[in-house]
Structure 1
Amino acid sequence: MRAPAARGGGVRHALLCLTVLPMGLFRRRKQDPTSLVDRFEKGATPADTALKAGVEAVADGHLAAGVVLLGETRQDPELRSCRMGALADAAIGRSRQIADLAALESHNPDLWAWLGDTIVLEAWAIRGGGYASTVGTDRFKVFWSTLESAYEPLMRAVKLFPEDAAPWETLMWFGLGMQRERETLDGYWEELTARCPTLWMGHWARLQTVSAKWTGSHDEMFAFARDTAERAPRGSLLTGMVPLAHFEFWLSEERRLIDAGRGAMALVKEEVRRFGGEHLAEVKAADDKWRRDMRPHLYDIGAHHLFGGFYARNIMDDDAEERARWHLSRVGNRVAAAPWDYDGGDPVENFIKVLQKLRLPLP
């Protein structure tokens, strides 16, 4: 099994299928993507000046900035999920400092939730993002020992702030790493949706949980994605679970084909098939449901990347190309990790190549 994409996923080996445009005598050469990377920022949400400053402060050891930012999110589950993840990532290696602060402010649920999330990310950093077969026995022992210590602070956060969905989102990643029984993982999901039935990153974690690489199957993953899209109200970006499921499937399928010794052309041919036909029609239907009455959402940029990235795989379809251009022209200079980290290498460079392929202006 492979480390989850949204919480510490590592480099993925895949083949990026790019259409080569004819190079006329007077056509300007495309710039090397590596020379353009500085124009972009990583993130699936709009630029947040306060969060950026807080992340930098926490990384420098000034934890009070993180406490203030989290304290502002108790009535906004999506914002809380976003900030919790960013601040936990910034605090990797500083969990003991957060624990000391939580001991002093023992009635603050933000600190306990942050501590638990940080420990989970520290554990995944120890494990690495590769498949389980690439992780040695000793590293697994340290991983599990570290990860297990996240449970108590997360439970304290739950007790102090029962309405909070954030600890349950973290517990889903905790449960995957600890190889908890499926019944336990399902329970975490039920607790999360009881508090926030539309949490974007919660649905992302659930899709990973029911995927073939973890506790489910391809069929169960697609059933979850399709059911989510069907149940989502018109205008909800949760329909983006459909293209996400297709990317997850292709990651698994491509690895199978590579292991079977299939050549590059066979991979390209299969990729075109997987991102066309009935699969393309399904994604278009999910896209149409979102776009028909699009409701502003914190993770709109992330969903635009998923839909746009899917369509960019099959621009021989004129409508798909137009849809790719429409979605990717709305993300500005913000680059979400998915789907561009499914292609190996640097996600920003992969995104720039697609912008060039689609002849979209660079920021």
Structure 2
Amino acid sequence: MPAMIGSSDVVLDVAVAYPEIAGLRAALRRRDWPACRALLDQLEPSARSAALSSCAAELGLEEFLRGVLTADATDASAAALLGHHLIHVGWEIRSGRYAQHVSARQFHRFHDWLRRAEQVLIDAAARHPRDPAIWTARLLTARGLQLGLAETRRRLDRALTAQPHHLPAQLQFLQSACPKWNGTWELVHGFARDAMQAAPPGSPHAVLVVHAHVEHIFGDDDTDVFRYLADDAVRTEIYEAAHRSIWHPEFRHGPGWLQALNAFALIFTMLDDRRSAATAFAGLGNLAAEYPWNQVGDDVNAQVREARAWAYEGAS
């Protein structure tokens, strides 16, 4: 259920939207791996992948998880989480800046951590070739180590073979398809559109279409935002995506629901559509996600508060 704490509160913790993440965090902090496995084993694949990646930032996981794997080298969840954790450490060193603003030392340490993650994940993928969480993590290492789009696509295909429409993997591939990682806007939009249309109606996969447009708006210096959003084809695609997902009667609070409503709240705000933005914010309650609001400005809380107040004022 959406969190309703106060009229101006913004809750950015995904664990409030997805209780399984809160449970996994608590078990990890107790270093209770049997409890972690009991929780993870009951999740459907997309929820499991999302929970594993969401807990990657927990402190001190490497020693603990290597101990778990020493006791049982076949534990796929421990390997996937360790891989995600090592990737997270590396990406924190690199930062989210464009390459020209990252030092040679940062790149060296970043790649070192990603190679350590790859060693864990290669072994895990050999043992568990149909585990989409492992392939989702390997999409991140492929991007960071710049292994190329062909290899990245191969890893996506392995994830989708394990579970068709695996949204965590598709979201990672979308980032890799962007020009900042040597992809193209044609690839970004084509992939997002095809993935959304292939997924069942009412699924959250339309988030891919919105993320594609947001990346294009903020990732291309030559893009005129107002002209881009005034394009009839762009607007039509966004509204068709909403009808296929968050406005579809089959839309549910399953894996990806927060990200979908959050993305539409932003894009409708950018489209100056108060009524549609208000419907997305109403579905969120006080919840939001950092991305893609952090593309607009550093203070995500302020961005969401202001946009939500604007939407509700105009829709009342």
Cα displacement (A) at 1:187: 0.9
Query: 1:41 pairs with 4, 8, 11, which one?
Result: 11
> Which residue in the other structure is 2:251 paired with?
295
1:341 aligns with 2:278: no
Cα displacement (A) at 1:241: 1.2
Uncovered stretches (5+) of structure 2, i.e. residues with no partner? 1-5
The one-letter code matched in structure 1 to 2:201 is R
**Partner Cα distance (1:344, 1:113) in 2:** 32
The one-letter code matched in structure 1 to 2:300 is P
> Which residue in the other structure is 1:51 paired with?
21
The one-letter code matched in structure 1 to 2:48 is R
Query: 1:77 pairs with 32, 37, 45, which one?
Result: 45
Is residue 172–residue 189 contact of structure 1 (8 Å, CA) maintained in 2?
Answer: yes
Q: How does 1:312-331 map to 2 (within 5 A)?
A: 312-315=269-272, 320-331=273-284
> Which residue in the other structure is 1:350 paired with?
303
1:275 aligns with 2:242: no
> Which residue in the other structure is 1:134 paired with?
101
Return 129-138 or 178-187, whichever deviates more: 178-187
Cα displacement (A) at 1:57: 5.5
Cα displacement (A) at 1:44: 5.1
Cα displacement (A) at 1:100: 2.5
Residues 149-202 of structure 1, C-alpha deviation per residue, up to 9 Å, x if partnerless? 111221232234333100100000000111113221111011011011212221
Query: 1:104 pairs with 60, 71, 96, which one?
Result: 71
Paired-residue identity, %: 20
1:161 aligns with 2:116: no
1:228 aligns with 2:195: yes
Query: 2:240 pairs with 279, 285, 288, which one?
Result: 285
> Which residue in the other structure is 1:87 paired with?
55
Is residue 325–residue 358 contact of structure 1 (8 Å, CA) maintained in 2?
Answer: yes
Query: 2:89 pairs with 114, 122, 139, which one?
Result: 122
SS at match of 2:207: helix
**Relative contact order higher in (CA < 8 Å, ≥ 6 apart):** 1
Higher gyration radius (CA): 1
Q: How does 1:210-225 map to 2 (within 5 A)?
A: 210-225=177-192
**Partner Cα distance (1:155, 1:295) in 2:** 36
Query: 1:63 pairs with 31, 43, 57, which one?
Result: 31
The one-letter code matched in structure 1 to 2:88 is L
**Partner Cα distance (2:106, 2:147) in 1:** 19
The verdict on how the C-alpha distance between 1:289 and 1:94 changes in structure 2, with shifts beyond 3 A counting, is: closer
The one-letter code matched in structure 2 to 1:310 is I
The verdict on how the C-alpha distance between 1:53 and 1:109 changes in structure 2, with shifts beyond 3 A counting, is: closer
**Partner Cα distance (2:179, 2:155) in 1:** 19
Is residue 71–residue 110 contact of structure 1 (8 Å, CA) maintained in 2?
Answer: no
The one-letter code matched in structure 2 to 1:132 is A
> Which residue in the other structure is 1:5 paired with?
none
TM-score (ref. length: structure 1): 0.77
Structural RMSD (CA): 2.3
The one-letter code matched in structure 1 to 2:159 is L
Higher share in helix = 2
> Which residue in the other structure is 1:20 paired with?
none
Cα displacement (A) at 1:294: 2.5
Number of corresponding residues = 305
Cα displacement (A) at 1:77: 0.6
